[in-house]
Each structure stands twice: as C-alpha cells, then as structure tokens.
Structure 1
Amino acid sequence: MKLLRELDFSDLSVYGLCCVEGHTFILPYGLTLTWFNLSGKKLKQKSTGGHSFYVSTSNMKDHVYGDGVNSVSRIVRDTTMFTYTNAQLSNPRGLGTDFEGNIYIAGSSSNNIHHITNDEKVIRIIPIGTFGLQSPWTIRFAPNSDMFVVTCSSSEKVVLCKID
C-alpha cells in the first residue's frame, strides 16, 4: 500500500463515504451530503432530512443515504427516485446493496434491517435480535454474493449472514 495524499476534511466529521462516478467521493454527515474529488476539492452539497451518517452506491451512478430519523432516499444522478419511510425504522445507519440491487438498511435504534427493492418495495424487515445483536451499525455484502456482515454499535460483535 502506498499513501498518495491526505485529504483535508477537518471541517467535517467523517463516518462513512462512498466512491461514485470513478474519482468522486460522497461524505455524509448530519444534514448534508458533500461531494469531493480526489484532490479534496468540494464539488457540491445536498441538504438532507438528517441522520445522514452513511451512504452507499451500487453502480457508482446512484446512491442511498439516511434522509431523516426513519427514512432513506435513493438518488440516481441528481434525481430522487424515492424516499423510503417506515415507522419501524429508527436511526438508519449502515446501508448495503446485494448482487440483485436490493437495498438493506440497518436501523440502529429500531434494532432491525429493512430489506427493500431498488424501487422501494418492502421485501422483509429482519429483527436483528435474532442474531444476538442490538443497534446494527454497518452492513456490507461480499461482491456478487448473498452473504453479508453486520456490526453493531453497542458491542464488538460482528456476524456473517446469508439471505435465504
């Protein structure tokens, strides 16, 4: 590994980020998504409804982010495709996309994972307590797989899961 440069994001708290369109990064925090290029130049910002700590992408042209205490939005280029809101979702954190393009949302305070299609249809809501976790924080899929890991913020526990 070779360090190329340190990017100065000292004016932002960085919890999560994702790469989009090749050489651009989105950094979410609180009420804002901020796009930066590889040299650290701010390209644009978008206001959100809040609780934007993580952002995810499936094809580098779209992104999904927390957009409020119980909602998540999906954007393709600059068009909002949907805002998923559910009373059973509280404090969306980790976001993952499986090999079929379905979206998984870790509800940190609701202790569940919302499994939805990329056009907002609910497939299922998975109670995370089933796996011995509370406060799911991160969800990441293995490439081209239905296996994923989930971390939680209330312990050091990490689980490997598979969608049936």
Structure 2
Amino acid sequence: MFALVLLTMLPFIWFGMVVAISFIETPLKFRAPGMTHALGVGIGRIVFKVLNSVEAVVAAVILLTWILQPALVSPPAGLLLGLAMAALALQVLVLRPSMAKRTKALSETALKHDGGTAVRAKVGTNTHIAYITSEALKVLALPVAGILVVLAVAAR
C-alpha cells in the first residue's frame, strides 16, 4: 500500500516543483524591481542546483518503489516516468554543466552592478532552450504517469 501511495503521490509532487520553479518563479523573478539579469541568473544557478538535487531524490524513490513493486507501473506509465528521469539526467549531466560557465560569469557581474535596472530574462543559448524543453517534457510526462498509475491500480 505504501508503494502505491509513493507511486501516485511523487510524480505529482515532482510536477508541482518543476511548474512552481521553472514556469512561475523563474520568469517572475526577472520582473522584480531592481532585478538585474546577472543577479537573476546567479539566483537561478543556486535554485536549479537545489531543485535538480531534490528531483534526483524524488526520482530515486520512484525508481526504487517501481523496482520493488513493478506490477503497480503499467508500461505506458513506466515509459513516461522513464522520460522524466531521462530529462532530469540530461539536465544534470549535460545541460546544466554546459550552461555553468556562462551563468557563472553573468552572476559574478552582479557583484559589480548597482542593481538599479530591472531587466527581462533572455534565453541566450540553444542549451538553455534545450533545458526549458526538458522541463516541459517533465511537466507533460509526470502528471500523466501519475494518473496512469492510479487508473491501472483502480482497474485491478
């Protein structure tokens, strides 16, 4: 029963974290009075490092629960959970490290700036666009996977 709770609850919690940070907090941060692009990027570096760490723990618990109770995860739900986990792995292992040099340089310029000018966020690289796309993939896959787990269990 506990496995069922984890497999239905965690995809929705993970989904909520990604939506809250990536699609609500991040764009709004750049509209704050006095927020510079460099300062926003510096904050983003910290926030996304922590977000990805928490996501990795959630993904590991989902994977462990799935391994221990494979009958609870239908093939379509498993595919979607696997896609979300692959998107996270891509972000952590490839995309964030690739963006790190540029974002570090931008965040360091925040120390030299007076903070008097608010700026809009700018998507600067193809890597950043790939990161946003991988976030969108998780946002699509996770709630559907959670729903499919519930439906598969309800049908038994």
Normalising by structure 2, report the TM-score: 0.23
Higher alpha-carbon Rg:
2
Q: Which has the higher strand share?
A: 1
Q: Which has the higher helix share?
A: 2
Normalising by structure 1, report the TM-score: 0.22
